[in-house]
Amino acid sequence: MGDSHGRHPLKNWLVSAWLSTPLCGDPPQLDAVLQWEMANRLGLKHAKKTGRWTPPDEIEDVPISLAKRTVNGRDIHCCSSPIIPPLYAQEAGYIEKIPSEWVDHTGKRFESAKMAGIIAPEYRKSVLTASGPYKQRFVPERVRLVPRVCWFLRGDREGINKLLIRIYALGRHRSIGYGAVWKWTFDEVANDYSIFTPCNGKIILMRILPVGEDLNNVCGYRLSFGGYRAPYWHPAYQTEVAVPC
């Protein structure tokens, strides 16, 4: 399948999100981030909310400024999986002094004794804390000190940048300060490395793809089960996939 054409020419880009705070969890697929932001602007996440219960034929294809290719019979956006360069401590040679990766914990606790003091006695009642919305939790979270997250893609820079300027953070727990983005940069590259890239005479996989014949001569991936396109969490797009290593 050829590139989708618009008013602006499609070019090959290396897009980088420069982070000012540590990244919590794994970085996202950029095509999913772009579609999420566009869905917000079009009102699809409010007037026409999509959930796991939505039939596949009712899921709207949110338009974004990325080219598409047909791989193993499915249309795939030309956007690689996230790439994390060397961590800060490894890059600077301070592996023993500065941790590049560690475990933080996010917790939640309902202070019933303190809450009872501000409620009139006639309105006090028992609250279940063993399960439900008031359940206590203390969850470990993987945190990495990374300088930036990168993606190779083929698309229209102007249209993509209009969406990315509203993306202020990546990863998990963005609302409490993790994964803050202080700038987005675009570097034009000569070739399209968004799906496949040559390396030492071999073809390396660059993004999640459904398993099929088009991967016969491709290496650098592991087999898994998951989504191959946005929304990645929807059961309709869950299948056996090849994940870049």
Domains parsed from the chain with CATH numbers: 11-89+145-194 (3.30.70), 103-140 (no CATH)
Q: Is 197 exposed, middle or buried (0-12, 13-18, 19+ CB in 10 A)?
A: middle
| Structure tokens, 12 | 């090959």
Say what the pLDDT of residue 135 is: 87
Q: Which residue, among 156, 141, 147, has the nearest Cα to 181 in the 3D structure? A: 147
Say what the pLDDT of residue 92 is: 47
Q: Which residue, among 232, 236, 210, has the nearest Cα to 58 in the 3D structure? A: 236
Is 130 in contact with 159 (CB distance < 8 Å)? no
Per DSSP, what are the bridge partners of residue 74?
A: 71
Please state the pTM of the whole predicted model.
0.84
CB atoms within 10 A of CB 19: 23
What is the residue whose two structure tokens read 């490395």?
193
Say what the pLDDT of residue 113 is: 78
Is 214 in contact with 72 (CB distance < 8 Å)? yes
Q: Which amino acid is at 102?
A: W
* DSSP-assigned letters across all residues of 69-136: EEETTEEEESBPPPB----HHHHHT-TTTS-SEEEEEEEE---HHHHHTTS-GGG------SSSTT--
Q: Digits of tens for pLDDT over the chain (245 positions)?
A: 445 445 668 999 999 999 999 999 999 999 999 999 998 888 877 767 778 888 888 888 889 999 999 999 899 999 999 999 876 545 545 444 556 889 999 888 888 778 888 888 888 888 888 888 888 889 999 999 888 999 999 999 999 999 999 999 999 999 999 999 999 999 999 999 999 999 888 999 999 999 999 898 899 999 999 999 989 999 999 999 999 98
Say what the pLDDT of residue 178 is: 95
